[in-house]
Amino acid sequence: MSDFAATSEPNVPTGQEPAIELRDVCKRFGRQEVLRGVNLTVFEGRTLVIVGASGQGKSVIIKHMLGLVRPDRGTVRVFGQDLNRVGRRGLDDVRRHFGVLFQNAALFDSMNVFDNVALPLRERTRCSEAEIRSNVEEKLALMDLLGSEEKFPAQLSGGMRKRVGLARALVLKPKIVFFDEPTTGLDVSKSNEIYRLFHRTQQQLGYTAVIVSHDVPKIFKLADQVALLADGVIQECLTPEAFQLSDQPVVRAFVEETMGRLYRSDAEEEGLYEKV
């Protein structure tokens, strides 16, 4: 876990450069104002987990970071580049550092597993077919998917689809990887498998990770920072430990709702027992 310095922005890890910065990002879809001034910083090599109730706009934040959605107001900077000002080619240059695991894996359903993972290599590099094969097989082995190369997405289980999606996201050794609800729809053991793969690959590749998840509190174990999105703004962005003990009423309500009541000290807990 990270060390934090006392700066004007709470919980800024020392000695870390920001990989992604959102400043006062607002977004409206029709009459619905989804984001109302989101401020968020993701530091290089760290893991930010965004939590919040369904429909609050967590995925919309990720889409802003990916440049898939433009903010109505505010700026989104990735490695210092303002995504609103970089143009199409500049955006592509920034996206070359991205890997994304979508909620439903977003595999190309007319391609088999091998071709899905090979696609970024075929389209964005000049690798020979032999190099592509070796690279893809390496990633499939890492995801324990060797032997499934010829299968199509429709023939895979939910967990396998996620692993193929992760293999594809990592095949070009990205600097930032986005995970949109990586374990939704998976049972506990499959979820744990995805988390283990995430942990292992992050250790190996050292990428920055942004995770949108509902899997509280398990997801806290992977996080360096946890941000709560509610009412269109980031209520708090803290270390997992500080997040769980926060006094901020919205955070407190979220923690109690998702994790049950937490006690700051043995004395507090004992006090409650005495009352009972």
Partner 1 sequence: MLAFLEKIGTETLWYLETAGRMGLFLLRMLRGIFTPPFKLFPVIRQVHFIGARSTFVILFTGAFTGMVLGLQGYYTLRKFGSEGFLGSAVALSLVRELGPVLTALMVIGRAGSAICAEIGIMRNSEQIDALECMAIDPYRYLMAPKLLAGIVALPLLTAIFDVVGIAGGYLVGVGLFGVSPGAYFQGMYSSVVWADVEMGLVKSLVFGLLLVWIAAAKGYYLHLERSGGFGAEGVSRTTTDAVVLSSVAVLVWDYLITSIML
Can you give the binding site for partner 1, defined by CB under 8 A? 63, 66-68, 92-93, 95-96, 98, 100, 102-104, 106-109, 119-120, 123-124, 178
CB 96 → partner 1: shortest distance, Å?
5
- Smallest distance, partner 1 to C-beta of residue 104, A: 6
Q: State which residue, 68 or 250, has the beta carbon closest to partner 1.
A: 68
CA 123-128-129 angle, 5° bins? 85
Minimum distance of partner 1 from residue 46's CB (angstroms): 20
Structure token pair of residue 8: 């004007």
At closest approach, how far in Å is the CB of 201 from partner 1? 17
Q: How far is the CB of 127 from partner 1 (least distance, A)?
A: 13
Cβ-based nearer residue to partner 1, 181 or 236: 181
Q: Which is nearer to partner 1, 124 or 196 (CB)?
A: 124
Residue whose CB is less far from partner 1, 4 or 152: 152
Nearer to partner 1, 131 or 241 (CB): 131
Least separation in angstroms between residue 196's CB and partner 1 is: 24
Residue count of the chain: 276
Smallest distance, partner 1 to C-beta of residue 66, A: 5
HEC assignment per residue over the chain: CCCEECCCCCCEECCCCEEEEEEEEEEEECCEEEEEEEEEEEECCCEEEEECCCCCCHHHHHHHHHCCCCCCEEEEEECCEECCCCHHHHHHHHHCCEEEECCCCCCCCCCCHHHHHHHHHHHHCCCCHHHHHHHHHHHHHHCCCCCCCCCCHHHCCHHHHHHHHHHHHHCCCCCEEEEECCCCCCCHHHHHHHHHHHHHHHHHHCCEEEEECCCCCHHHHHCCEEEEEECCEEEEEECHHHHHCCCCHHHHHHHHHHHCCCCCCHHHHHHHHHHC
**Among residues 93 and 256, whose Cβ is nearest to partner 1?**
93
Q: Which is nearer to partner 1, 169 or 229 (CB)?
A: 169
Comparing CB distances to partner 1, the nearer of 102 and 220 is 102
- Using alpha carbons, list the distances in angstroms from residue 51 to 189, 195, 202: 21, 16, 20
| Shortest distance, position 235 Cβ to partner 1, whole Å | 27
